[in-house]
Every structure is written in structure tokens, then in C-alpha cells.
Amino acid sequence: MVRAIEWRESPTPHIRLIDQTALPAVETYLEITTVDALVDAVLSLAVRGAPALGATGALGVVVAMNQAAAEGWSDDELAAQILRIRDARPTAVNLAVGADRASAHVSEGVEAVLAAALELVAEDEAANRELSRLGADWILARTGKEKVRVVTHCNTGALATTAWGTAYGIIHELHERGALDYVYADETRPLLQGSRLTSWELTRDEIPHAIEVDGAASSTILRGLVDVAIIGADRIAANGDTANKIGSVALALACQRAGIPFVVAAPWTTVDLDTADGNDIVIEERPAEEVHSFGGAVVAPEGVTTFNPAFDVTPGDLVSAVVTEKGIAEPAASSSPEPLKDLISR
């Protein structure tokens, strides 16, 4: 299994990131030792995926402290630089959660911060394994099938997390149980995380699959070609409204019409109980170039305006299950206005 993000001590302490913008053609790694380089990696999506961004936020505080020591920053400067990391992408709550958790230990010194960050990384892998087991159980029980056909969107595998994956983790778990028939992976424009990354991971894991354009997902569902849709999340509100990669809500609408479950898989850190519903989720808009070009080829008239939101919000009433390592909430079937809050208060 590939590691998207790791802490390494030699030759100098650094974050080692696989450069996801170069996949699937080239497997190359970035060695991050400065805040500037880290923020660049986040903005270019060299590192992406909610859980991997959580690790990035936490380990980024260590990078900032090391740079502060080397360059003699004041406490205010260090705090400002940690804030730059924390807020590099507004929709991804995990980046802030990771940075906040590590920076709570700044007064204890860099070793304590590193320990807190590595603890978060270890917890993420454990959470992924647990939610994958829970999700596979739920899907097999709900569909009543011995083998399921799955559609997924974007990349939620080892590349998107610190290890194993979330939605992809459930797919992997189903495969290991012999309960997976086939996967349809949406290519996920504009940055093609599905065809570039998910298909790369599925191929490595020898999981039978096809890639399809995002526009095909709705009819793949309506034509009865799949039994369940499984996606990840960037932020989940208390009512189950789920921000995820642009295009996700199309799958949810089709699943509702087809009468098959729409499953959101994410570690508990992605749940934001302070956000009541999707109206309070800021939707990041990304640069026009992503839509103007395709794999380096210019595909639109020069200078044309683009609308390029990175995420959409799937209303909670379309979400059959939110699978976390703490348990499963069922917003679509719930009579509660805050099914996610109820999950932890059980």
C-alpha cells in the first residue's frame, strides 16, 4: 500500500509527500521542509483528500516550528505561519483540525507536537480500518447481496488518507471479503482524481473496475448497473449535509430515484457538529485554468469565464448512511434534525 504522506527524520526532518499531480504517469515524491512549500503542495493538490490533509495540517505545525527555530521567528510569526497552513483550503475541515490539534502542544516543544501529529496519523489509519469494516457490514446487510457492484467518485484511497482509505477502504474491505463484484470509478473532472488516482490504486489492488466520465454516473445508477454509491466527504454537518468533490450530489439524486443506498464514508474528524447544515459550508472556487485545459491541452476559447466550485453539498435527506469509525448515522431515514449529533450521544 502506497503512503501519501509520511514523516521522515533524515537527511533533515521533513514531510514526504507523493506528488499526486504527477500520477499515474510518474511516481515522484516531494520533501517538504518549509511552510511555503507545504502551502504550495496543498494548493496545487500535490496532497489532497480530507484525512491526508488532516495529517498535513498536524505535521505542518512541526515543519513551521523547525523553520521558526532555524530562521528565528517570533511567536507571532510562528502563529501566523501555522494559520496559513490551517486555512490554505477553506472547505477541508480536517486541515484545520489537524493543525489545531498539533499546535495545542507548541508550548511543550517540537517533540511533543511531533508526537501529537504522529498520534493523529496512527489514529487515522485505525479509523479507516474500523469504518471500512462497519461500512462493508452495513452495505451487505442493506443490499442483501453476496457481491455488490459499486460506483464511486473522486479518490478516497490510501492516496487521500494516511493509509487504507475511507470510501475506497470500504471497497477494499468488500474486495478482501470476496464480496465485491465490480467498481465504476468516475474520472472526476477537473483534476481527474478518479481516472488518475483511484484507477491507479484499483489497478495496484487488482480490483476489477472501469472508469467513466462524470456525466455517465447518473445513468449507470438509473440503468441498474450498480448496487450502491460510496463516496468520501470533506465536511459533514450535524444534519448530514455532506460537502464532497463536485459531482457527488448527482450520484445521490440518482441513487434516490433508483432506490439504492448512497453511502458517505469519513473519519469522525470530518464531522463538524458546529455546522448545523450545508448552508454554512463555504464552497471553495478554484482557478479557471483547471477547466480551460485538459491534461495540458487547451480545450476552451481563450479567456472564457469559468465557474469552478471544488465541492458540492449533498442534502442529508439523500444520504442513506454516514459511516465513521464511531458508528453509522442514517440521515435519510432519521427523524432527528441532527442525526450526526445523535450518533455520538448514544
- Residues of span 19-38 touching a copy of itself by CB under 8 A: 24-25
Q: Is 59 or 246 the residue whose CB approaches a copy of itself more closely? A: 246
Residue appearing with cell numbers 475506497: 168
Q: How many positions of this chain bind a copy of itself (CB under 8 A)?
A: 57
Angle at CA 55, nearest 5°, toward 54 and 61? 100
What DSSP string runs through 167-201?
HHHHHHHHHHTT-EEEEEEE--TTTTHIIIIIHHH
Pairing of strands 321-324, 262-265: parallel
Least Å distance, CB 304 to a copy of itself, is 5
Rounded CA gap, 161 and 290, in Å? 23
- Residues of span 130-169 touching a copy of itself by CB under 8 A: 153
Q: Is 234 a catalytic residue?
A: yes
Number of Cβ atoms within 10 Å of the Cβ of 9: 8
Residue 70 in contact with a copy of itself, rule: CB under 8 A: no
Q: Is 105 or 245 the residue whose CB approaches a copy of itself more closely? A: 245
Of residues 186, 214, 227, 234, which has the active-site annotation?
234
Pairing of strands 14-18, 5-8: antiparallel
The interface region with a copy of itself, picked from 11-19, 58-66, 142-150, 187-195 by CB under 8 A, is 187-195
Least Å distance, CB 195 to a copy of itself, is 4
Residue 203 in contact with a copy of itself, rule: CB under 8 A: yes
Rounded CA gap, 256 and 289, in Å? 34
Residue 184 in contact with a copy of itself, rule: CB under 8 A: yes
- Residues of span 302-321 touching a copy of itself by CB under 8 A: 304-309, 312-313, 315
- Residues of span 271-300 touching a copy of itself by CB under 8 A: 291-300
Residue 214 in contact with a copy of itself, rule: CB under 8 A: yes
Q: Is 109 or 215 the residue whose CB approaches a copy of itself more closely? A: 215
Indicate which single residue of 5, 140, 170, 246 sits in contact with a copy of itself (rule: CB under 8 A): 246
Which are the contacts of 326, defined by CB distance < 8 A and separation ≥ 6? 268, 343, 344
* Phi, psi angles (nearest 5°) of residue 292: -65, -30
Residue 238 in contact with a copy of itself, rule: CB under 8 A: no
Least Å distance, CB 219 to a copy of itself, is 4
Q: Grid coordinates representing 253?
A: 439524486
Number of Cβ atoms within 10 Å of the Cβ of 305: 8
- Name the residue among 280, 236, 231, 272 with its Cα closest to residue 254: 231
Could you give the 3-state DSSP secondary structure of residue 272? strand
Least Å distance, CB 233 to a copy of itself, is 15
Residue 190 in contact with a copy of itself, rule: CB under 8 A: yes
Kindly list the residues in this chain that would bind a copy of itself in the complex (CB under 8 A): 24-25, 153, 184, 186-190, 192, 195-196, 199-200, 203, 209-220, 222, 245-250, 253-254, 257, 291-301, 304-309, 312-313, 315
Catalytic positions: 234
